[in-house]
Structure 1
Amino acid sequence: MRSSATQARDRPDPGGIPIRTILLGVAGVMLVALGGTGAGAILKRDPLLADTSLSWIRYGHGHDLATAVLYIGLGMVIWSWIRLGRMVRNGHVGSAAVLTAIVAWTLPLLFAPPLFSKDIYSYLAQGQIALNGLDPYSVGPAVLQSPLSDNVSWVWQNTPAPYGPLFLMLAEGVVWSTGASVIGGVVVMRFVLACGLFLLCWALPGLTRHLGGRPATALWVAAANPLMLVHLIGGAHNDLLMVGLLAAGVLLVLDRRHVLGLAVVTLAFAVKATAAVALPFLILVWARRLHGSRTAQLGKAIAGGVAVFVAVFAATTLVSGLDLGWIPALSSSSTIVNWLSLPSAVGDFAHTVVDSFVRVEPGWFMTIARGLGSLLLVYIAWRQWWAAQDGGPDAVRRAAITMLAVALLSPATLPWYFSWPLVMAAAFHWSGTALKAGAFFSVWMLLVTYPNGDTALYSWGYLACTALVSALACASLTRPDPLKLSSRYT
């Protein structure tokens, strides 16, 4: 049994806000931002540092120092998140403390260089393409020959935009408002995407009323999570805006504002297509609240849902002046090959085994494995939808399971894709074991990408270290000093 002194040390500072823990996280994100100026997904030529006495931090030992500073900061962020989670789990702090931490930890990241990804440069280049009167669904950033396109990863230089018309309008507005400035565009785009974090923080407490969780736990699991903040704010991914709209839409549907909720989820789809996964499950929630036979309920809800979707999406598309070219462009992500995608992992492994005996091309293995993975995904989605016929919270739970299947079985998977099911599941009740598993995988997914955006998934020594760090974070969620390094628990 823990002593009263130990329990006291875990309690927050007066006022219900754990000041020291939050400040530890603030110091961490500031170090992450500082180290990111040399080790992040930096510009090819940064007008703020080029030809100055500080340019050395991007090369040689300066780059090594910046990398060390970034990882020290990242460790502090993880440490503060785990400490906060322990307080939440023990009931020592509530939603106000977690919301304070989210705000404090987000602000420095809004002004940091891009971290762990160069996707923000693609977003801005696609916005500039639209601003210049070209079709971003037909051409890639390479047509611009501008500072924005110069910083786009070579992988995506000739790739049309795979994002919905709402997001392309927002990107175009950001480029217009900043005069096509790269640095200004990064900062303003982050503020636009942070609207998704605001919506998420607004929706999660309400979702817990319907789904059985605790508001503070839901906010800690999803919104304060370093995977969310460092990757989706620091990395500036439009997934943040999508999941924010998605969470808000789900809450509205559960609150019986079905038409408005489905409209908001359609807007999430108009940002990124993944949000469409939730729509069939929300139709079931609506159906169960209608009068008539089961067939009549489904018929009315499906007709109403389709009408809302078509009206909202058509209006968004017409206002944007774009077409449906982004739908075929979704396949462009298949150029990414890593083993976070289970079908890609199976295809790559099968090719490696066979190629050790007979020289063969890898394309067939990847195509077959991904095709089978897509069939499995369709089967899982159908089974989950069919099992969710009673609607209500169970439909949302099964939507979260389907989102997880999408992240695992898509042809291409990136670490921040796991924010999709995390957000959908955050408002449910989390057991101690589930919280520890969530902490382990959140930290691990955070670390498996290098700060410059390159993948670390094939650096086995590095991955072993990330697994150890994740295991330590997992253990620390329930034990303040699992390594027994100090006589004082902090």
Structure 2
Amino acid sequence: MALQVQRTIVDLTGGDAMIAAIAMRLPALLAVGAIAYALPRLAEKMGVSRHQAVWLGVINPLVLMHLVGGMHNDAMMIALVVVGLLLAADGRWMAASVAVAAGASFKQTAVLALVGVAGLAYRHARGERREAPLMSAVDQRSYVWIAARVGAVAFVAFAALTLVSGLGWGWIANLGVPGSVLSLLSPVSMAGAGVAGALTAVGVPQEWTGGIAPAVQIAGLLAVVVALAWITWVLAPRRPVAAAAWALLVFTAGGPTVYPWYVLWGVVLLGATFTDRRVVRALVWITGWLLAYSMLDVAVVNGATMIGVAAVAWGAWTLWRQRSELDRPLPAVEPGDSGSDAGAATTPRHSGISALLSRV
């Protein structure tokens, strides 16, 4: 669907490169608008302050810089995932499955959010409002049945969208292409390259070290599979939105290629689930680092390295000076639906990030 949307924009703009490039931002802006509408409502249903959701998912500098400025398809994917989870929180799991499938038509990684849809459908069927205990054998069979139906509906919807697009399934053969690029932000790729480089530096023949990086990447993907299995079976029935967020974040961290906007897949959803203050603090610093990386990357490419360095230095100083804002608590809200992701609704939700990075 992403290619067809872009083709439509080019056709409507008469093939003018400049106008088409500007118009490409319109779907991204609409997507961010959908996130701004759905994410705070999802947060309140999960018993979380909407202010946390607004910062992490809407006015987060990475959202404005990459989803809008970079006109990435990730914007539409994330928006449809958030809308899908909101629908699932209201008990409309079939519509939610279709929404996530539509998100996958823009970027296939959206399918990982189906664990959240399945968890919310399971929680809604049981009429639960708070964090659930571990599943019994009967509960496990019920959860598997619900998850299977969610997956089946999503697959049928995705296949139908693929048929309507007229582009077919040729993209499957190219799923490994991103892994062919050495990503500076991928932990597993850099770990593999670092080990191989260190061994080469001490005299180990390059023909012996050439397979280290691919082997580490494979190990990272195996770790992702194990983590996703745990998230699907243990976390999703208890905290569905958190499960969707962490599934996307784990896939990002363990993947062979990472770009700054990939982190937003899960970070946006974390805004709608209870997040420990230490995690929020870490997210702020990670966001600052990715902003610095992005600014320097753009500055170097455009021959303005010193401007980029100055911008990064100013941003780092501002972030450090305002770091105490992270300790300001936000009031808790009562969960508004049976899909509540909160544990105890009286626990304060810590986050001063809204005031903090708005100054960066």
CA distance in 1 between partners of 2:287 and 2:37 (Å):
22
Identity of aligned residues (%): 26
Q: 1:385 to 1:307 in 2, by over 3 A?
A: closer
1:424 is displaced (CA, Å) by 1.2
Find 1:250's aligned residue among 68, 75, 85: 85
CA distance in 2 between partners of 1:431 and 1:382 (Å):
23
Which letter maps to 1:385? T
Asked if residue 273 in structure 1 is aligned to residue 103 in structure 2, the reply is no
Deviations 1:102-123 (A, max 9, x none): xxxxxxxxxxxxxxxxxxxxxx
Counterpart for residue 333 of structure 1: 178
Work out whether residues 444 and 467 of structure 1, in 8 Å CA contact, stay in contact via their aligned partners in 2. no
Aligned pairs, number: 310
1:247 is displaced (CA, Å) by 0.8
CA distance in 2 between partners of 1:167 and 1:317 (Å):
11
CA distance in 1 between partners of 2:217 and 2:298 (Å):
28
Q: 1:438 to 1:168 in 2, by over 3 A?
A: same
Find 1:216's aligned residue among 32, 38, 51: 51
Secondary structure in structure 1 of the residue aligned to 2:169: coil
Work out whether residues 118 and 236 of structure 2, in 8 Å CA contact, stay in contact via their aligned partners in 1. no
Secondary structure in structure 2 of the residue aligned to 1:275: helix
1:182 is displaced (CA, Å) by 1.4
CA distance in 2 between partners of 1:453 and 1:176 (Å):
32
CA distance in 2 between partners of 1:453 and 1:416 (Å):
18
Q: 1:453 to 1:315 in 2, by over 3 A?
A: farther
Asked if residue 300 in structure 1 is aligned to residue 145 in structure 2, the reply is yes
CA distance in 1 between partners of 2:178 and 2:26 (Å):
26
CA distance in 1 between partners of 2:117 and 2:163 (Å):
25
CA distance in 1 between partners of 2:310 and 2:278 (Å):
22
Work out whether residues 84 and 117 of structure 2, in 8 Å CA contact, stay in contact via their aligned partners in 1. no
Deviations 1:7-39 (A, max 9, x none): xxxxxxxxxxxxxxxxxxxxxxxxxxxxxxxxx
Structure with bigger gyration radius: 1
Find 2:237's aligned residue among 372, 381, 390: 390
Secondary structure in structure 2 of the residue aligned to 1:442: helix
Find 1:187's aligned residue among 14, 22, 35: 22
Show the 5 A alignment for 1:37-56: none
Secondary structure in structure 2 of the residue aligned to 1:270: helix
Which letter maps to 1:249? G
Asked if residue 207 in structure 1 is aligned to residue 50 in structure 2, the reply is no
Work out whether residues 213 and 429 of structure 1, in 8 Å CA contact, stay in contact via their aligned partners in 2. yes
Q: 1:429 to 1:337 in 2, by over 3 A?
A: same
Asked if residue 415 in structure 1 is aligned to residue 260 in structure 2, the reply is yes
1:194 is displaced (CA, Å) by 1.6
Work out whether residues 203 and 251 of structure 1, in 8 Å CA contact, stay in contact via their aligned partners in 2. yes
Deviations 1:151-180 (A, max 9, x none): xxxxxxxxxxxxxxx112111111211122
Counterpart for residue 447 of structure 1: 292
CA distance in 2 between partners of 1:438 and 1:475 (Å):
17
Counterpart for residue 282 of structure 2: 437
Counterpart for residue 359 of structure 1: 205
Counterpart for residue 133 of structure 2: none
Find 1:402's aligned residue among 240, 247, 255: 247
Which letter maps to 1:197? V
Find 2:68's aligned residue among 224, 233, 236: 233
CA distance in 1 between partners of 2:120 and 2:300 (Å):
41
Asked if residue 323 in structure 1 is aligned to residue 158 in structure 2, the reply is no
CA distance in 1 between partners of 2:152 and 2:178 (Å):
30
Work out whether residues 403 and 421 of structure 1, in 8 Å CA contact, stay in contact via their aligned partners in 2. yes
RMSD, matched Cα: 2.8
Deviations 1:397-452 (A, max 9, x none): 12212221111110101111111111110123455544443322212101203454
Q: Which runs of 5+ in 1 are unaligned?
A: 1-165, 481-489
Higher-RCO chain (CA-CA 8 Å, sequence separation at least 6): 2
Counterpart for residue 226 of structure 2: 379
CA distance in 2 between partners of 1:464 and 1:337 (Å):
27
Q: Which runs of 5+ in 2 are unaligned?
A: 127-136, 327-358
Which letter maps to 1:470? A
CA distance in 2 between partners of 1:278 and 1:223 (Å):
19
CA distance in 1 between partners of 2:255 and 2:65 (Å):
23
Which letter maps to 1:281? G
1:453 is displaced (CA, Å) by 8.2
CA distance in 1 between partners of 2:271 and 2:223 (Å):
25
